Amino acid sequence: MARSATTFVCSDCGHQSPKWLGRCPGCGEWNSLHEEVVRASSPAASRGGRAPAVGLLGDVDVLAAARLPTGVGELDRVLGGGLVPGSLVLIGGEPGVGKSSLLLQALAAIAAAGGRTLLVCGEESPAQVRLRAQRLGAGDAIRVLADTDLEAVCDAIRAETPAVCVVDSVQTLRSADLQSAPGSVAQVREAAERLLRVAKGGSTAVVLVGHVTKDGAVAGPRVLEHLVDAVLQFEGDRYRHLRVLRAVKNRFGSTDEIGIFEMTDAGLEPVTDPSAALAEPEPAGPGSVLLPAIEGTRPIVLEVQALVAPSDLAMPRRQATGFDRNRLSMIVAVLGRHAGVALGSSDIFVNVAGGVRVDEPAADLAVALAIVSSARGRAAPERLACFGELGLTGRVRPVSHTGPRLAEAAKLGVAGLVCPPRTTGPAGGPPLRCADTLERAIGLAFGRPA
C-alpha cells in the first residue's frame, strides 16, 4: 500500500520544505508555506503495470458529454448551456449572498426533471436544509448527506452515482491523511483533488461551494482555481435585492456572460429584463447618464452615477464602485488636459447602480460625461445614453457590438445617444450624436459651459 508523508509548499513559488518556516527560502515571502500531503508511489506503479489505453479523438462519444440543464436559465447562461458531466465547478461569494439557495433551487429543478441529485451539507443539518427547501418550494427528491469526512463523501458519490452533486462547502471537508484542521490550505486542496478524480472517473458533475476572503477572492490555495473546470463568482450585497453571477473561469464556455437574479422571499428569481431593473426610466438629475453595456452576448443598459464635490484634503479622493479606480484616474486626467474640466481640487465618486461591475472600455465616455454633469450641476436636456472608449489624446474611439447597444437603448426609450464617430443605428431609433473628441462629446451632451 502506498505510504504518504507531509511537506510544506510555498503557495507563491512552489518551494518545498520538510518543515514549516515563517519565510520561504525560495522567494522570501512571509507565511506562504502550507502543509500538503505527498503520497509515495506504490510498488506496482513503480514497476510500470499495464500500459494506458490510447485512442483516437474522433472515436470519442460526444453525446456522453452532453450538457445537463440546471433548470435555472441565468445559471445555464453563465455555465455556457448547463453542467457538463464529469466536470468540477467552484462557486464562491460573500456570506448570505444566496449561493446555497441558488444551488438548492437548481438541484430541485434537476430532480423534478428525473435527474438523480446529491447534496453534501457540511455546514447545516438536514433539518435546516429541509426548512430552506420548504421556503423555496423545492421538492423532496434531493438526496442529502450530512458528513464532513472526505473519504465518506467520495464513497457516497461513487455509490449513489448522481448526475449532480453539490458540496456545501468544500472548506468543511477533512481528510484523515492530514493532521491540519478543516478549511486549511492543505485540506481544501486535498478535497478538491480527490473530488476531481471522482468526477472525472464517472459522469457526476460536482459543484463546490467556497468561502471568500476579505478581498473577495475564493479562499484556499490558488491551485484550487486551476484544478476545477469552472469558477463562478456570486456578487452582490446582502442589502441589495439584485445578485450578479459571473464566470471567472470556464473551460466549457465564455467568461463574458453574466446572470442577474433578484432575491425574493421565494428564493432567487432570474431577471429577464435587466435593463429595466438596473436603469431608471426617468432623468435622475445631474451626475447620472446611461451606459449601453455588453456582458457576453447580452446588452444591458446601466446607470452610471458621479458626484463631484470640493475637497478639503491635500490629496482629493478618487473612489469608484463597480468601476476600475485606475481607469477613473486616467479619465479625470484626460478631462483636465483635453476638455478643460479642472478637477484637481475636487473629490470624485463614481458608482454603477445596482451593484454591477463594468470592466469594458466602452464605459469610459459614460463615466466622463457623468463627472462633467455633476461638476457643472447640469443634467442633460433629455435622458442621455453614451458609450465609447477614451484615448489618452482625448479622442473617442469606436467600440464593438454597436448594434445591440443601440437596440437596447431604443427599447428603454432613450431620447439621445452620444457615441463614437462612424456609428450607424437602425431606422426609427434614437438620434445619434457622433463625437470624435471628448470635448465635442461634452458639447453635444450638455452644450457649451456658461
Per-residue pLDDT tens over the stretch 228-267 = 999 999 887 666 778 889 898 999 988 888 898 998 888 8
Is the pLDDT at 31 greater than 90? The verdict is no
C-alpha–C-alpha distance, residues 432 and 390, integer Å: 18
- Give the pLDDT confidence of 333-354 residue by residue, as tens digits: 999 999 999 999 999 999 998 8
How many C-alpha atoms does 322 have within 13 Å on its Cβ side? 23
Alpha-carbon distances, residue 233 vs 74, 183, 206, 278 (angstroms): 13, 19, 16, 20
Q: Do 389 and 362 form a contact (C-beta atoms < 8 A)?
A: yes
Q: Is the pLDDT of residue 91 over 80?
A: yes
- Selection from 138, 106, 137, 102 nearest residue 268 by Cα: 102
- Give residue 45's pLDDT: 47
Q: Which residue has the cell 464635490?
A: 309
- Picking from 187-201, 228-242, 287-301, 370-384, which range would have the lowest pLDDT averaged per residue? 228-242
Torsion angle (degrees, nearest 10) of CA 8, 9, 11, 13:
140
- Distance CA(326)–CA(118), nearest Å, equals 44
Residue type, 124: E
Q: Of 269, 276, 246, which is closest to residue 353 (Cα–Cα)? A: 276
CA 175 to chain centre: 29
% pLDDT > 90, the chain: 50
pLDDT of 339 reads: 93
Are the CB atoms for 172 and 188 separated by under 8 Å? no
Q: Are 302 and 352 contacting, i.e. CB atoms less than 8 angstroms apart?
A: yes
pLDDT of residue 150: 95
Q: Which residues 6+ apart lie within 8 Å of 283 measured at CB?
A: 379, 380, 382, 383
For residue 416, the model assigns a pLDDT of: 82
How many angstroms separate the CA atoms of 289 and 230, rounded?
A: 34
Q: What is the pLDDT of residues 155-164, one digit of tens each?
A: 999 999 999 9
Q: What is the mean pLDDT of residues 292-301?
A: 88
In this predicted structure, what is the pLDDT of residue 40? 55
Which of 185-194, 233-242, 254-263, 318-327 has the highest mean predicted lDDT (pLDDT)? 318-327
Rounded-to-integer distance, Cα 194 and Cα 175, Å: 10
Whether residue 112 is predicted with pLDDT greater than 70 in this model: the reply is yes
For the chain, percent of residues with pLDDT exceeding 70: 89
Locate the DSSP E strands across 236-313. 242-250, 258-264, 267-270, 288-295, 298-310
Q: Distance (Å, rounded) from C-alpha 380 to C-alpha 446?
A: 6
- Taking only Cα atoms into account, the Rg of the chain, rounded to an integer number of angstroms, comes to 26
Show the cell assigned to 21: 518556516
**Strand blocks (E) in 19-116:** 33-39, 88-93
Better pLDDT: 66 or 231: 231
How far is CA 165 from each of CA 77, 83, 140, 351, 380, rounded to the nearest angstrom?
20, 11, 16, 38, 52
CA distances (Å), 47 to each of 1, 2, 39, 41, 54, in order?
14, 13, 16, 10, 20
Grid cell locating 291: 451606459
- Inter-residue contact 320 to 306 (CB < 8 Å): no
pLDDT at 46: 46
Contact present, 338 and 437 (Cβ < 8 Å): yes
- What pLDDT digit, counting tens, does each position of 378-425 carry? 887 778 899 999 999 999 999 999 989 998 988 888 888 999 998 887
pLDDT (0 to 100) of residue 196: 94
Q: How many residues does the chain have?
A: 450
From the list 224, 361, 296, the residue with the least C-alpha distance to 74 is 296
Site of grid cell 527560502: 25
**How sure is the predictor about 1, in pLDDT bands with cuts at 50, 70 and 90?**
very low
Task: Give the per-residue pLDDT at 257.
Answer: 85
Whether the predicted pLDDT of 329 surpasses 50: yes
135-138: long-range contacts, CB 8 A cutoff, minimum separation 24: 135/265, 135/266, 135/267, 136/101, 136/104, 136/105, 136/108, 136/266, 136/267, 137/108, 137/266, 137/267, 138/104, 138/105, 138/107, 138/108
Phi, psi of 70 (to 5 degrees): -85, -10
**pLDDT reported for residue 77:** 92
Predicted TM-score (pTM) of this structure: 0.78
The whole-chain average pLDDT of the chain stands at 86
My answer on whether omega of the bond before 169 falls inside 30° of 0, hence cis, is yes
